């Protein structure tokens, strides 16, 4: 079985991690348009209000942990532009202007 998550913020990575924990054999892929994953979007206003607060405070877990320890296929720099549910395909581009795999 394949499981796709679009968006690698805290909620997206939580969904990906839970899918992998529930079924270790599932192929989990996450597409995230930025280079940052597992960040708390809710905390962003605090970082904006206090410029001395490190942005790293928002990161729950680094991308390498998801890739190496949890076996999640995490693709950063990939923007999804359309989804074909019936055809089970996702279209978009990477930050290097290449079509998504």
Known catalytic residue at 42: yes
Query: How big is the chain, counted in residues?
Result: 101
Q: Select from 77, 97, 68 the least CA-distant residue to 37.
A: 77
Answer whether 34's CB lies under 8 Å from 78's CB.
Answer: no
From the list 42, 44, 60, 83, the catalytic residue is 42
First CA to last CA distance, the chain: 18
Q: Annotated catalytic sites, by residue?
A: 42
């Amino acid at each position: 079985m394949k499981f796709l998550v679009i968006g690698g913020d805290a909620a997206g990575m939580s969904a990906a991690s839970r899918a992998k924990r529930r079924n270790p054999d599932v192929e989990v892929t996450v597409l995230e348009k930025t280079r940052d994953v597992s960040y708390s979007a809710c905390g962003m206003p605090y970082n904006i209000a206090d410029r001395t607060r490190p942005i790293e405070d928002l990161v729950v877990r680094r991308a390498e942990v998801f890739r190496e320890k949890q076996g999640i296929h995490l693709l950063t720099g990939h923007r999804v532009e359309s989804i074909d549910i019936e055809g089970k395909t996702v279209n978009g581009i990477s930050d290097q202007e290449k079509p998504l795999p």
